[in-house]
Amino acid sequence: MDNRNELTWGALMSGYARQGYGFPVLELLEAMQEEDIKPNKVMFLSLLRACGNIGAVLHGRWIHAKIIIHSLDIDTAIRNSIVDMYARCGSLDEAQRVFSLIQDPDVVSWSSLFAGYAQNGTYDVAAQQIEAMDRGGIKPNTAIFASLLSACSRAGVMAEGCEFFNDLIEDFGLLPSLEHYSCVIDLLGRGGCFNEAKDLLKTMPSSPNFIARMSLLTHTRTFNNPRYEAGSRYPANSYILTKVN
């Protein structure tokens, strides 16, 4: 393409990053530098997202340093993206350190941090931070609850996860999504509570997705429960494996 400029480079980077790619975005940065085009805020946001997509923490640190050099690190959107990048790369200490520099963290800032807790299953830290959120007057949104439930599932803390699920509905008046239900079903399955998980499948406001069903089946095999194993003659198994519309 002739006459490439910041807009065309930025649009290409953003497209790749939003589709979950990482390396093509970093390759675009290298090509862009060869043409002596300096990255702007939009490009840095895409680069951070790309690093998070593939867990490229070393590249992420280098991009973070470049952001500081360009004096863009005081921008809230940039800081939120830096937190998200470190969190998704599994570097929670660095994510927390950048988060602490945000003067008035908003719900997006908190969501970025909680996504890291979910990915790494650090329930204890997540539970402490939800209290800090409350003290700061920030109400958790559906994305934060999804991260909390995922962290509980990975950590195997069933009672706490079920309590968060109830809080989502009763205390905050939020509508659970398929992702929330899937997390709780996975949590119950990990704890061997198959009847409760099956009952929750029945109460879902829309048809259970494939992930929720297969999560339950996977855990039933782990616990060697013949009533739910794939290929079983029991009716419960037929229900779980019903084709998702």
Contact between 220 and 229 (Cβ < 8 Å): yes
Q: CA dist 237 to 18, 102, 129, 176, Å? A: 37, 49, 39, 25
Confidence (pLDDT) at 215: 52
Distance CA 224, CA 105 (A): 46
Looking up tokens 């990482």 gives: 22
Q: CA dist 183 to 64, 98, 142, 238, 243, Å? A: 32, 28, 13, 21, 20
Q: Which residues of the chain have pLDDT under 50?
A: 210-211, 214, 219-223, 226, 228-245
Q: Is the dihedral of CA 215, 218, 220, 222 positive or negative?
A: negative
Contact between 178 and 209 (Cβ < 8 Å): yes
Confidence (pLDDT) at 244: 34
Confidence (pLDDT) at 141: 92
Confidence (pLDDT) at 147: 92
Which residues, in sequence order, are CB contacts of 169 under 8 Å at separation 6+? 175, 176
Residue 35 burial by Cβ neighbours in a 10 Å radius (0-12, 13-18, 19+): exposed
Confidence (pLDDT) at 232: 44
Confidence (pLDDT) at 179: 85
Please provide the size of the chain in residues. 245
Looking up tokens 């290409």 gives: 12
